[in-house]
Amino acid sequence: MQAASKGLMLVTFLLGIFMGALDHGIVGPALSSIFQAFDVDSSWGGWSMTIYTLTFAVSIPVLGKLSDRFGRKRTFMFGISMFALGSIVCAFAPNFAVFLAGRAIQGIGTGGIFPITAAQIAVSYPPEQRGAKLGLIGVVFGTGSILGPIVGGAIIKYLEWEWIFLVNIPISIVILILISRIKLEQQVQVKPIDYKGISLLAVVILAIMYGITSGQWLIAVIGLAAIPLLVMVEKRQADPIVNLSYFQRRPTLLLLIVTFLSGAIMTTSFFIPVFSEKVLQMAKGDSGFTVAPFAVASALASYFGGVLADKLGARRIMAIGFVIAAAGAIALGMIGEEPAVFYAATTVMGFGVGIIIGAPINVLMLQAVELKDAGSAIGYLSLLRSMGSSLGPVIAGKLLATYSDGFPYVFGFSSVLAFISLILLFMSIPAAKAVAASKTA
């Protein structure tokens, strides 16, 4: 691919990330207007985010695998089209049930945007440039997430809430026009589609994710109990949707566990506004801005973490990220009641989180698998991170409910997870060397 084509490809795929991140933050300010329009209370309104999260989680591994079969370009176009369709359904929904259907369609579309973008960027650049380019995903996502609430607030102030979703349509059209002009070379794997595996995997993910997010632990247990059946079915498939070797081989298994823990650590940021209200005695209107240093630092770290991963090694930078995140969490838990320390600690923690969920883990995963499986491999990283980010707030919420002064326990929990991840990273070194040796043999 020529340099000009690579640049257009990079801009096009990153524009998809920006749209998804913008939508993620833009919906929040509109929720009360949406609830009022459909005459539903907040308990039902929560399904607006829940159903989006569930369908996103299911679509990640499925579309990641199908991108290796049908091509990343077609899968990305499918994701953008579904996201646009879901936006239209949400904007013109006659009732709340149809609105939720639109959110579900949006979630499916997002699953064809985020992991596919990372996979495409990874295979388009040589290893010595891969980290820096992957780091741009975090920068763009962070920018979209920061701008989302601002744009959403402006739309609600001056326009109707439907424009929260309609704004996605022109962006989607631009992306589809741009991607149609790009020729992407990819050797696809034409094999039978594993419909049984897709169906079972969807049931497992939906049960586990819904059980975790709703506190219905019996449903989560049913999902876990169905895993052996999924494994049995997948062993008989010519091209299973679940690559069992990822969970059997030490290098990939440890990386997936680390990604899961990273997702849980990341969700500590959800409690920063609550901490500022309860401990720093900030007004509710001001507390939302306290997460800004975390978000900005995370976005910057995503890029610099990628650049440094190319120069110093992804595993080393990943380890440094966990140490930085742990230091920030410990400071928040122990001396965060001082405003100056609070802002410094959230910035430090945000920088660490930006590294551990950014380019380095993707680079490490791609070093452990064949590039032809990039879509599937990145998809499972995204899935495990999503599952970790669903479990993290549940545990943190329990800690806050159990202890009168629960914030030190919440941030301490994050630091413990960071140190566990460090140990797992070091445990994976011998296996990673063996994989590298086999690739060069």
Segment among 5-9, 38-42, 350-354 with least mean pLDDT = 38-42
Contact indicator for 83, 113 with CB cutoff of 8 Å: yes
What does the alpha-carbon distance between residue 192 and residue 366 come to, in Å, rounded to a whole number?
24
Cα 64 to the center of its chain, rounded Å: 14
Higher pLDDT, 354 or 272: 354
The mean per-residue pLDDT over the stretch 381-386 comes to 88
Altogether, the residues listed in the chain come to a count of 441
According to the model, what pLDDT value does residue 175 have? 96
According to the model, what pLDDT value does residue 178 have? 94
| 152 pLDDT tier (thresholds 50, 70, 90) | confident
The overall average pLDDT reported for the chain is 87
Q: Could you write out the DSSP letters of every residue in 291-307?
A: GHHHHHHHHHHHHHHHH
| 4 pLDDT tier (thresholds 50, 70, 90) | low
* Helix or strand (DSSP H, E) at 429: helix 429-440
Check residue 153 and report its DSSP letter: H
Cα 319 to the center of its chain, rounded Å: 20
* Helix or strand (DSSP H, E) at 251: helix 250-266
The mean per-residue pLDDT over the stretch 317-339 comes to 91
Tell me the pLDDT tens digit for each residue of 92-107.
Answer: 999 999 999 999 999 9
Q: What stretches of 31-118 adopt beta strand conformation (E)?
A: none
Tell me the pLDDT tens digit for each residue of 101-129.
Answer: 999 999 999 999 988 998 899 888 888 88
Amino acid at 440: T
According to the model, what pLDDT value does residue 328 have? 93
| 43 pLDDT tier (thresholds 50, 70, 90) | low
| 401 pLDDT tier (thresholds 50, 70, 90) | confident
The mean per-residue pLDDT over the stretch 50-59 comes to 87
CB proximity list for 154: less than 8 A, separation 6 or greater:
none
| 154 pLDDT tier (thresholds 50, 70, 90) | confident
According to the model, what pLDDT value does residue 383 have? 87
Segment among 13-17, 84-88, 245-249 with least mean pLDDT = 245-249
Domains and CATH numbers, the chain: 1-191 (1.20.1250.20), 242-441 (1.20.1250.20)
* Residue closest to 234 by CA, chosen among 199, 189, 190, 188: 199
What does the alpha-carbon distance between residue 33 and residue 341 come to, in Å, rounded to a whole number?
37
According to the model, what pLDDT value does residue 159 have? 86
Tell me the pLDDT tens digit for each residue of 255-289.
Answer: 999 999 999 998 887 788 888 888 888 776 566 67
Q: Report the phi/psi class of residue 40: left, alpha or beta, with left for phi > 0 and alpha for psi in -120 to 50.
A: beta
Percent of the chain scored above 70 by pLDDT? 94
The mean per-residue pLDDT over the stretch 372-398 comes to 85
Query: Does position 437 have pLDDT exceeding 80, yes or no?
Result: no
The mean per-residue pLDDT over the stretch 334-353 comes to 89
According to the model, what pLDDT value does residue 440 have? 57
The pTM is what?
A: 0.85
Query: Does position 173 have pLDDT exceeding 90, yes or no?
Result: yes
Give just the sign of the alpha carbon dihedral 246, 250, 255, 256. Answer: positive
